[in-house]
Each structure stands twice: as structure tokens, then as C-alpha cells.
Amino acid sequence: MNDQEKVKIFDTTLRDGEQSPGASMNLKEKVEIARQLDLLGVDIIEAGFPAASPGDFESVSMIAKETENATICGLARCLDNDIQKVAESTAAALNKRIHVFLATSNIHRKFKFNKPKEEIIKLAIRGVEKAKSFVDDVEFSPEDATRTELSFLAEIVEAVIKAGATTVNIPDTVGYTTPSEMTGIIQYLKKNVSCIDQAIISVHCHDDLGMSVANSLAAVDAGARQIECTINGIGERAGNCSLEEVVMALKTRQDLFNFQTNIMTKEICKTSRMVSHITGITVPSNKAIVGANAFAHESGVHQDGVLKNRETYEIMDPQDVGWGESELVLGKHSGRHAFEKRLISLGYELEKDVFEEAFHSFKVLSDKKKTIYNQDLVSIVENFALQSAENFSLVSVEMNYLREKSTSEPSLKAKVTIKDLRSGELLLGESSGEGPVEAIFEAINRALKVSVKVFSYSIKSVTEGQDAMGEVAVKLTYNDSSPKMGRAASVDVLEASAQAFLYALNLLDL
């Protein structure tokens, strides 16, 4: 391992990843993810775009204070105010970086800036020099680099390195390039930029044509030593290079890639699930590394092979990425020790009060289901582990199906009991509706004397079978506020709907 070169992992889940439609996160959620990224071992956390909003500035500032190991980075245009905001928001970080960018391709120069190449280079140099006046660690990105003329790309890269950039990032901003083209770009820069050895070459690849991971690996093979990526590959449009995929490709194929990273791979699945839970972006079952089926075998031939030797059909050990052992059955006779051991194998160590709540939920669930799967346990834990401070909690929900005498149509009536945790008061609400979920939501509105509107509602099965847990995601708005998401899982999907509604409601400013 000592003769392996190091590839830095630059995680932009909290910046580019948050740009996924519907993936915005609040301050608490961003800090939770940043702490986990730090534990995961990423080298650089791009915590946000501080000039974009006061919320982004605050989150970058908080992350700078809360993380211990990673370099904290903020994004800025080549504008003095943007750069000043990054410098201020990252001031508390032990290690900090300012990342400045400016579009360089012909289509961007013509339609975004209407400026000649010479002016673009001047702006880039000025931006790097301004950033350098605050920190030593400065990264520059020529936006849309892969559609920029190679000669001009080399010219601007040389200029910014001489101005003080310590990392030059080559973004495939629109996911346009191919692995062979990416190899050619990196090789061209190494040959035609006289000072290229004075900076680390980075790549930031988007997945519009499904080649972001392949392009990133091609760049590393050609000489790049930093990969910019996100958890679960989330990001603009089709997303970014997936951290878990590119890291495990480097690790699994060390016969081809003689490189190492600082990533603690056993934290990968936990990090993936956290990001999915917080953003509401579901990980597809067939997603490489972190999908539910990534290490599942249904074919009898495959099962026979794996039982004889796991490596017949698995090129990675699931434990290496945090999946734990193959799914073993937990049931209603299992005790705390077995439950705790399984949670630890899945990467969760809970505080005592949260553990007891989770164990109680596990017991309730095991009375309803024959088989408890790992995904069931993960859903149980996340109902407690990532909760925001609550004002209201669900005590009970009842559903009555009545048939009115005057009509043959059935009547649906929901009754909810909610506890106001601030006063200890029990609040009751009743409502009818065309469907049970509608009736429950309106009953909660009446209990709290509010009018919260449902922005979106979805439900999916956590595991298989007729007794599978249902995971509900609901987004709510109140008085034209931005939508807030709540998630909850239960065998009883109506209970999960009520819990998810209340979780989102707790995030609203009522």
C-alpha cells in the first residue's frame, strides 16, 4: 500500500448535490451529513455556496465549526463579494479552501458573458488572487471545461496556477465528454501547461450520458489526483459522479488502478442511507454498491455458488461497504443484545433513550411481521435518529368506516390524538375525507387548529412481502413557506402517514 498514490475525494453533496430538484436541506440536516462525511473520510467537503443565500452562509459557517478532519470548502464566482463570503463563512475551519469558478467554453463566453478570451483570463486571475489573499488553498474551475477549446483551456489553467491556484478542476459540467476524450484533455494539459506540476488536477463529472464514474476514472488514470463526487451520485440534472462507485472501483480494481483514498468504506452504506433519508431521493434497488439488491441473490444457481464460495458471484464483500452480514432473521423472541449487535453491524450505535425507543418499535413490528429485514431495522432507527426537535407527537390514530343511512356510500372518519410536548396537553381532532390519508391529514390540521397544505405524498415498500413496512414521504407547506419533508415507516401505512405528516409539520414555523 505504501507505493500507491493518493487520490483525494472532494465531496460536493452539500453544494452540487443539494441542487437536485427537491433535495434542499435545513441547517441541522446539513450539519448531520457533514459530520458523517467527516467520519467517512472525505478529504474536502464543499459545504455550500455562501453568497447564494443567508441560509447557505450560515450552514457553511456551522459546518466549519462542527467538522474535525476534512478541509471545508465554499464555492464562489470570480466576484469579490462571493469570495469574501466564502472567506468569512469558512474562517472557523481548521483547514479551509476557496473554490472559484468561471465559464470558459465558447458557448458560455458568447451567451453568458459576451466577453473575449483575454477578459475571461483577467477575471480568472483576479478571482484567484483575491481568494489567495484569504487562504493558501485555492481551487479554480473553468466551467464547461470539456467543451472549451484545448488551447484556451491550457492557457487559462496556466494563468490561474501562476496566480496561486493549488488545485485546477476540469469540470464536465454538462456530462458531454467520454472516457477517451477525458484522457486526452488531462494528457494535453500535462503536456502544454508549463506549471501543471505546481497544482493538483481535479475532475468534476456529471452523469448526463451515464459516464461520470468512467470519465473520473479515466482522468485519474491520465494524471488527475482529485475526484469531485456526491453520495448516491445526486446533483444537477442526472447527477454527479457517485462517491461510492468511484471509491469502490479504485479499491476493487487495484490491479488496474494503483491508487488509494482515505475513505472508510464501511461507512458508505450508512452515509448513503442518511443522504437518501434527508433529501427524500430514493436509492434505486439496483444501484451499484448501496442499492438494496447490490448483494442480493435470487437465482438458485447464484445462491448455490455464493453458498460454496462468496466470490463466485460477489466481487466485493458487503461488509466492506457497511452492509453487514447477509440478512439474518430477527423476530419477536430476540432480545436487546441481538438487536443491538445487528444495529452495530449496520453502523448504528444509538444513545440509550433512542435505543430503547427503537427497540420498542422493533418489538411492535416483530409482532406484526414474520421476517424482519435489515432495511426494516434501518427504517426503525431513522424514525428516531434524525428527528428534529419536536413540538408535537402522535399518540394514536383511529380510522372508522361507517355507512350513512341516507346513502349507500361508506363514510371515512379519522380520529387523532396528538400530544403538545411543550404544554403536555392532549389535542384531539376528527375529520372525514374521500380517502383515509386525506381524513387523517385533515384531522391533524383540526387538532392543531392550522391549515397545512400537502405539497406531495408518496409511499414505497421498504422490504418484500404482504407484511412489508411502508415508508411514507410527505412534503407540507404553510402560509406559502418552502416545502418541508417528513418521512416515517410502519407496517401500518396510515400510522406512517400520520407520523410523516407530523414530522414535516414539526419543521414548519407554526
Sign of CA dihedral 265, 269, 272, 277: negative
Q: Which cell numbers in the block locate residue 235?
A: 446533483
Q: Which of 496, 510, 452, 482 is nearest to 443 (CA)?
A: 452
Q: What pLDDT digit, counting tens, does each position of 455-499 carry?
A: 889 888 876 667 677 888 888 888 877 788 888 877 788 988 998
Residue 508 pLDDT exceeds 60: yes
Provide the 10 A C-beta neighbour count for residue 184.
15
Please check whether residues 121 and 227 belong to one and the same domain. Answer: yes
Please check whether residues 25 and 138 belong to one and the same domain. Answer: yes
Contacts 24+ apart (CB under 8 A), 254-257: 254/4, 257/217, 257/220, 257/221
Residue 292 pLDDT exceeds 80: no
H helices of 286-428, in order, are 300-308, 336-345, 352-366, 374-385
Q: State the residue range of the domain holding 350.
A: 327-385
Residue 333 pLDDT exceeds 70: no
Specify which of 23-27, 259-263, 334-338, 377-381 reaches the highest per-range mean pLDDT. Answer: 259-263
Label residue 488 left, alpha or beta by phi (over 0 means left) and psi (-120 to 50 means alpha). Answer: beta
> Of the ranges 135-144, 273-282, 306-315, which one carries the lowest mean pLDDT score?
306-315
Pairwise CA distance, residues 446 & 417, whole Å:
11
268 occurs within a structural domain: yes
Q: What pLDDT digit, counting tens, does each position of 237-284 carry?
A: 999 999 999 999 999 999 999 999 999 999 999 999 999 999 989 999
Helix (H, G, I), strand (E, B) or coil at 421: coil
Please check whether residues 147 and 82 belong to one and the same domain. Answer: yes
pLDDT of residue 358: 84
Please check whether residues 250 and 343 belong to one and the same domain. Answer: no
284 occurs within a structural domain: no
pLDDT of residue 299: 45
Provide the domain count of the chain.
4
Specify which of 2-11, 213-222, 439-448 reaches the highest per-range mean pLDDT. Answer: 213-222
pLDDT of residue 328: 42
b vs e for 252-285, b when ≥16 Cβ sit within 10 Å of the residue's Cβ?
eeeeebebbbebebebbbbbbbbbbbbbbbebee
Please check whether residues 320 and 334 belong to one and the same domain. Answer: no
Instruction: Taking residues 503-510, report their average pLDDT.
Output: 79
Q: What pLDDT digit, counting tens, does each position of 337-373 carry?
A: 767 877 887 777 888 878 888 888 888 887 877 667 7
Q: Are 423 and 391 in contact (CB under 8 A)?
A: no
Instruction: Taking residues 381-389, report their average pLDDT.
Output: 59
Instruction: Taking residues 403-421, report their average pLDDT.
Output: 76
Residue 404 pLDDT exceeds 80: no
Provide the 10 A C-beta neighbour count for residue 201.
23
257 CB contacts (<8 Å, ≥6 apart)?
217, 220, 221, 249, 250
> Of the ranges 212-221, 377-386, 394-403, 467-476, which one carries the lowest mean pLDDT score?
377-386
CATH number at residue 251: 3.20.20.70
In this structure, what DSSP letter does residue 466 have?
T
Give the pLDDT band of residue 298 (cuts 50, 70, 90).
Answer: very low
160 occurs within a structural domain: yes
Please check whether residues 275 and 335 belong to one and the same domain. Answer: no
Please check whether residues 72 and 137 belong to one and the same domain. Answer: yes
285 occurs within a structural domain: no
CATH number at residue 443: 3.30.160.270
Residue 119 pLDDT exceeds 50: yes
Pairwise CA distance, residues 87 & 3, whole Å:
36
Please check whether residues 194 and 97 belong to one and the same domain. Answer: yes
Pairwise CA distance, residues 143 & 403, whole Å:
64
289 occurs within a structural domain: no
Q: Which of 33, 73, 64 is nearest to 271 (CA)?
A: 33
Q: Are 20 and 239 in contact (CB under 8 A)?
A: yes
129 occurs within a structural domain: yes
Residue 410 pLDDT exceeds 70: no
72 occurs within a structural domain: yes
Provide the 10 A C-beta neighbour count for residue 432.
14
Residue 48 pLDDT exceeds 70: yes
Please check whether residues 210 and 140 belong to one and the same domain. Answer: yes
Instruction: Taking residues 110-119, report their average pLDDT.
Output: 89
Please check whether residues 311 and 164 belong to one and the same domain. Answer: no
Residue 59 pLDDT exceeds 70: yes
Please check whether residues 302 and 436 belong to one and the same domain. Answer: no
pLDDT of residue 329: 46
